[in-house]
Amino acid sequence: MISALQKIYVKNDQLKAYTLLSPALILIIIAMAAPMLVMIITSFNTQISMVEIDRTFTFDRYEDFFSKPIFSMLLFRSLKISFLVTVLTLLTTYPLAYYIAFYVKKNKMLWIILMTLPFWTSYLLRVFSWKVILGNKGVINSALVGSGLIDEPLGFLLYNQGAVVLTLAHAWAAFAILPLYVSLDKIDKSLLEASYDLGNSKFETFIRVTLPLSLPGIIGAILIIFIPTVGDYVTPQMVGGTDGRMLSNMIQSLFGRANNFPLGAASAVLMLSSVCIIAGIVTYITKKLTLRMS
């Protein structure tokens, strides 16, 4: 009996593969799928006291969300900020990845390590550092005032959406550099030479060959920056002020002081679904645009 089972097992690659995959799949089911399911269910419930939740099905939390303008405003602002962060990060890191992929000959690895190392150091401290740099008594203002260039510190640097975008673009740079570099580095250099040889200028070659071939990297970067940053909490909390408050700060208070788990869950559900839809649209448009240009 056992040997017969063994025989089936030895011969069945699917069985072996899924045995190996099972711990990971169990993890995903227990620690991601199930909690998210419960979260979705909770978003259709009602908080009746500090600890009690009425489990009757209702759409009221979604109605609450859309009837109070602050929620939609925060959601829209979160999406806007993460969209701006994505664009800014892509634009600023593309030349970098391009340089490393095409111009750096020796020690490419060292460049990559140096460009991604800051990402691994404490997120909290990096964000805090921007607060120090941009603040009224911060590095930039104290330097400018000290040197006599201005009399009053520049107040517009900190506590607004711009500060949030800048800080996030700094924090997520590694997530753009890596996929962009990998896709650019894969491009066969003879393709670019062929394009050059066929009469395209360097710029035309870039638009018609390099850019479309780096599309997988661009799309990868869009997905891994746009989606996670929409839910960022630390940055708006530290450098955003009232102007830079995002939906995640609201969600945090719904699970904290405001103590309304169902409404918090509904906000989270709406945040995730809207960001996924928009990410899908952005990816689609990017694909079309790049291919159109070539």
Partner 1 sequence: MYKKNNSLLVYCIFYFLFLYIPVFLLPIFSFNDSFHMVFPLKGFTFDWYIEMWNKARLHKALWNSIKVGVITAIISTFIALFAAKAFTRYRVKYSGLSYGALLLPFIIPEIIIAVAFIVIWTSMGLKLGLIPITISHILYCTPFCLLILISRMDGFDKSLEEASMDLGENIFGTFWRVTFPLLLPGIIASLLLSFVISFDEFILAFFLSSSDQTLPIYMWSQLRFPKKLPHVLALGAIIIVATSFIVMLSYWFRNLGQSNNNRGSHI
Partner 2 sequence: MVNNDFIKLRNISKKFDDVIAVDSLDLDISEGEFFSLLGPSGCGKTTLLRILAGFEYPTTGSVFIDNSDVTNQTPNLRPSNMVFQNYAIFPHINVQRNIEFGLRKEKLSREELNLRVKESLKMVQLEGYEERFSNQLSGGQRQRVALARALVKRPKVLLLDEPLGALDKKLREEMQIELRNLQKELGITFIFVTHDQEEAMTMSDRVAVMNEGKILQISPPKELYNKPVNKFVSEFIGNINLLETSIIDENDKNLTLDILNIGKQDFNKNIFNSKLSENIFVALRPEDISIKKEKIETADINIKGIVKNVSFYGESTYFYVKVEGINKLLMVSNFVDQVSINENDECSLGINLENIKLVS
Q: Which is nearer to partner 1, 151 or 292 (CB)?
A: 151
Which listed option, partner 2, partner 1, none, makes contact with residue 293 (CB within 5 to 8 Å by class)?
Answer: none
DSSP symbols for the chain: -HHHHHHHHHH-HHHHHHHHHHHHHHHHIIIIIHHHHHHHHHTTSEE-SSS-EE-S--SHHHHHHHHSHHHHHHHHHHHHHHHHHHHHHHHHHHHHHHHHHHT--S-HHHHHHHHHHHHHS-HHHHHHHHHHHHSTTSHHHHHHHHTTS-SS--GGGSSSHHHHHHHHHHHTHHHHHHHHHHHHHHS-HHHHHHHHHTT--HHHHIIIIIHHHTHHHHHHHHHHHHHHHTT--HHIIIIITTTT--HHHHHHHHHTTS--HHHHHHHHHHHHHHHHHHHHHHHHHHHHHHHHH-
Which listed option, partner 2, partner 1, none, makes contact with residue 227 (CB within 5 to 8 Å by class)?
Answer: partner 1
Q: Which is nearer to partner 2, 17 or 48 (CB)?
A: 17
Which listed option, partner 2, partner 1, none, makes contact with residue 232 (CB within 5 to 8 Å by class)?
Answer: partner 1
One-letter amino acid identity for 123? Answer: Y
Q: Which is nearer to partner 1, 4 or 125 (CB)?
A: 125
Q: How far is CA 260 from CA 38, 69, 227, 255, in A?
A: 15, 17, 25, 6
Which listed option, partner 1, partner 2, none, makes contact with residue 11 (CB within 5 to 8 Å by class)?
Answer: partner 2
170-199 residues in contact with partner 2 (CB under 8 A) are: none
Nearest distance in Å: CB 1, partner 1: 21
Site string for partner 2, 8-47 (x = CB under 8 A): --xx------------------------------------
Q: Which is nearer to partner 2, 11 or 105 (CB)?
A: 11
Nearest distance in Å: CB 5, partner 1: 16
Among 7, 68, 186, 202, binds partner 2 (CB under 8 A): 7
Nearest distance in Å: CB 292, partner 1: 26
Which listed option, partner 1, partner 2, none, makes contact with residue 69 (CB within 5 to 8 Å by class)?
Answer: none
Tokens of 134: 């941009």
Which listed option, partner 1, partner 2, none, makes contact with residue 72 (CB within 5 to 8 Å by class)?
Answer: none
Q: Which is nearer to partner 1, 3 or 121 (CB)?
A: 121
Q: Which is nearer to partner 2, 16 or 55 (CB)?
A: 16
Tokens of 273: 């679904």
Positions touching partner 2 (CB under 8 A) are 7, 10-11
